[in-house]
Amino acid sequence: MKRHDGEIRGLPTLMAVYPVKLPHEAVLDGLRVGGYAGPRVLVYYRVKGTDQVVYADSGRIAPGQALDEAHLSPQAQMETIVLMHPQDGQVEKLKAILETLGSAELLYEGATLVAGRETGETPEGGIEEEAEG
């Protein structure tokens, strides 16, 4: 039986980037009213001019970020990032809903598949030997 080592499947992703800080609940309420109450909605605030984000619901700095509390002053200019993984047939409706929340850059990437290397049958014992060459 052939298999693929390291195969990675990516979900379809829709991202909206608003140039202002929108209230977290207003974003979620807008999506609910439009009929999308998916559990896969993430809302972040991003410090303008960086790729550093905080969770909009809690204000906590997301893991792996180089931010500190000094960057999160009330005067910090923030953008709102909304990420979701829509099902087939939902993308256009979601774009329309997101546009009702304000002017946004909308980006969509369909499902992706990155295939690993194809290997032969796994030998008895589960270890595959590399061919010398």
Q: Which residue has the higher pLDDT, 73 or 45?
A: 45
Q: How far is CA 20 from CA 61, 80, 90, 104, 124, in A?
A: 18, 6, 25, 9, 59
Predicted confidence at residue 120, as pLDDT, reads: 56
Predicted confidence at residue 117, as pLDDT, reads: 61
Predicted confidence at residue 42, as pLDDT, reads: 93
98: exposed, middle or buried (Cβ count in 10 Å: 0-12, 13-18, 19+): buried
- Calculate what percentage of the chain has a pLDDT beyond 90: 40
Q: Which residue has the higher pLDDT, 92 or 40?
A: 92
Length of the chain: 133
* Tens digit of each residue's pLDDT (9 = 90 or more) over 59-114: 888 888 787 777 677 777 899 999 999 888 889 999 999 999 999 999 999 888 88
The whole-number average pLDDT for the span 29-51 is 86
Predicted confidence at residue 3, as pLDDT, reads: 45
Query: What is d(CA 36, CA 12) in angstroms, rounded to the nearest whole number?
Result: 15
Spans of all domains in the chain: 3-62+75-119
Contacts of 133 (CB under 8 A, 6+ apart): none
Per the listing, tokens 């969770």 go with: 55
Query: What is d(CA 6, CA 52) in angstroms, rounded to the nearest whole number?
Result: 29
CATH 3.30.70.120 holds for 3-62+75-119:
yes
Predicted confidence at residue 1, as pLDDT, reads: 37
**In the predicted model, what is the mean pLDDT of the chain?**
82
Give this prediction's pTM: 0.75
